[in-house]
Structure formats: C-alpha cells, structure tokens
Amino acid sequence: MKTSKRFMLGLSSAAVLAMVVTGCGASTPQANSSSTKPADTVKPAETAKPAETVKASAAPMPKVTIMVGGLEKVIYLPFRLTESLGFFKDEGLNIELINEAAGQSAEEALIAGEIQGVGGFYDHTIDIQSKGKALESVVQMAGIPGERLMVSNKLKDKIKTLADLKGHTIGVTGLGSSTNFLANYLVTKGGNTGKDYTPVPVGAGQTLIAAMQQGKIDLAVTTEPTVSLLISKDIASVLVDMNTVEGTKQALGGNYPATSLYMANAYVKDHPDVVQHLANAFVHCLNWMSSHTPEEIADKLPKEYYAGDKDMYLTALKSTLPMFTKDGKMPADAPPKVLEVLTAINPKLKDANIKLDQTFTTEFVDKVK
C-alpha cells in the first residue's frame, strides 16, 4: 500500500491551492494541568470564591487531519464550509483538511494511520469491514449520492439504456472508489457483469473532462461542478441521475447515504470528546446550510470552487443542496440498501457477516444541541 507517497502529494497539492488549514497528525489529549493547594495553605478569600467563577484549564484538543475525496466537489461542501464559518474554531478543534482526488486513497490513508478522518461515502465502511477493518460514519451529511452517469454526446444516440453500457469505458475517480461501486452496479443492473465494461480512473473536474474529450472514456460517474461543466461545454449529457431522491430510488432501488465523516472505530472509542466536538461543528454547519441561500453559501467558499463561472456554480449548488441532511443522522432504512447494492456487485459479501450497526453511529449527532 503506497499511501505515504500519496499522502505527501495530497499535502503538497493542498498547500499550493491554499486550501489546507494548519496542523497535521494526531496526538494524545493532554490531561488537565490544574492543581489544588493543600487545605492548610488555602486562604479564606479563596475558599469563599463562588464555584462558578473558578474555571479549570481545558485540555487542548488533539490535531485532527481529515482527508476529503475532492474538497471542491459540491457533495463535500460541508467540510470547507464548516471551516470557513468558524465552527471548528468554536469547538476548540485544530483541524487540517487535505484534498484527495479519490475516496479509496483517503480510506487507505486512514487505515494506515496517516490521518484521523475521511470525508467520503458511507459505502466504504461496509466494503472495508468485509476485509477485516473497522470504520464507521460518525456524521452522515448526505442521504443520496449526488452523482450522475454522464454519456459522451458523441455516443448518446448509441448508449440510451443501462444494457448499452456493455463494452464501453466508464470514468471513475479511482478504482475501488464509490463512483466505481456505482458504475459496477449500474452495469450489473443493465443485465451485464463487472467484466463487461472498463472502469478508468480519471478523477474529476478537468482531468475527467479532458479524458472524455480525447475519447479515453465513453461515460463517467461524476458530480457537480463537473456535471455542469460537461453540459455547458456540450461534451456530455445525463444518462442516470442520482442527484435527487426520486432519481436515486429509480437507479438504486432506495436511498443511498453518501457523504459522511468516517473514522476508525478504535479512534472513536478512544477519543469520544474529539468526535463529539466534530459532530457539533458539522451539524451546526448543516443547519446553517439549510437556512441560507446558495449565494450566501457560495460567498463563504474559495473562488477556485466556482470553476471559472460563479453563475454556473450557483445553479449546480442549488440543484445539489437537497441531498444534505440537516441533523447529520443516518436514515434508518439506508444501510441495508447500501449493503444490497454492494452485494449485487460483490456476491462474496453475502458470506461476510457484515454487522451494519458497526458501520455507523448516531451517538454523537444525537447529543448536538
């Protein structure tokens, strides 16, 4: 697993874009350093001081590094926005956000202990459990994928149904990524198998667009703002829409919770105070998003996120905002649907004895006031 090299590249890239906050790695929380004088040396005035005015020194929060599978993607909006709105700071958190093109790479970095959290799709927690690792979603930010299957306009007259995907190349962010999972499922739903198409890792944004322009991919599973860029440049059209509840149910048979903050189960158990503050920050952001306009939200983001066209970005943002939850909670009926989708493309999961209650928790978001 070559996660260290990828991790350093992520750091370097994020530094160039000035899209990373200071701080990295994790450290063990320090114990309270306050001490008490022996009773016989305490002056009367000190003992008479009202208890509510005496504040013990708070233990500093350990640094938390979160790798996000595309900070500029609208589906991962809450990560940068939580930082921009100051909610991390309000919770006393020291957060470093790192940009990574694919969720699979972030998952690998988390398992390797290079980071403490991932901004990625919930489905990774199920997939990785089947491989003997334990990860869990602690804040569920989106109830649907926000993805679309785009078909090159050069082939839209030939590729009209899922059955037509056979023999074609489909661009995904990375092999083993959530976009790869979804591409596999759509091909399977069309009556074919995962061997009947070729997934091509092309990332998102300009690298994906260039790959389609050059004919390296026939279709792509991607999100905003890449979708709007493909349409505005007359490069591709929507074949399958998973950016709405209705479209997701039609494509996948039910809700498919996507964007989440997931962490190693062991870290969550050992650092419940840190996780609670993270939950507080993200849920406050989700609430803020639900009560503000796309224009107000966009104004809190780096201009680079607009992909050179703020009006287009605002349109993309408006269409995507309904995917986000307001409370960070996992929809009760959603995990079984995700397992069903993943099992359809990987039958071995039937015998993996997946424990869904260990792939997510609402313990922390339930406590947010």
In a domain, 45, yes or no: no
**Same domain, yes or no, for 124 and 171?**
no
pLDDT tens sequence across 31-90: 333 333 333 333 333 333 333 333 333 578 899 999 999 999 999 999 999 999 999 999
Q: What is the rounded average pLDDT for all residues in the chain?
A: 86
Other Cβ atoms closer than 10 A to 72: 21
Question: Are residues 341 and 206 both part of a single domain?
Answer: no
Distance (Å) of CA 356 to CA 100, 107, 176: 27, 18, 20
Answer whether residue 69 is part of any domain.
yes
Query: Stretch 23-35: mean pLDDT, rounded?
Result: 36
CATH number at residue 180: 3.40.190.10
123, 265: one domain: yes
Reduced to 3 states (helix: H, G, I; strand: E, B; else coil), residue 99 is: strand
Q: Are residues 361 and 322 in the same domain?
A: yes
Q: Is the pLDDT of residue 147 over 80?
A: yes
| Same domain membership, residue 306 and residue 188 | no
Write down the pLDDT at residue 193.
94
Total of domains in the chain:
2
| 18 and 109 fall within a common domain | yes
Over residues 108-121, the pLDDT tens digits come to 899 999 999 999 99
**Co-location of 295 and 339 in the same domain:** yes
Are residues 134 and 238 both part of a single domain? no
Assess if residue 269 is contained within a domain. yes
| DSSP annotation of 177 | S
Q: Is 225 within a domain?
A: yes
**% of the chain surpassing 90 pLDDT:** 79
Please give the pLDDT value at position 21. 34
At residue 37, the pLDDT reads 33
pLDDT, one tens digit per residue, over 235-258 is 999 999 999 999 999 999 999 999
Are 130 and 201 found together in one domain?
Answer: no
Q: Whose CA is closest to 354, among 365, 338, 368, 332?
A: 338
What is the pTM assigned to this prediction? 0.82
Q: Which domain range does residue 227 map to?
A: 147-242
Report, as an integer, the average pLDDT of 9-20: 37
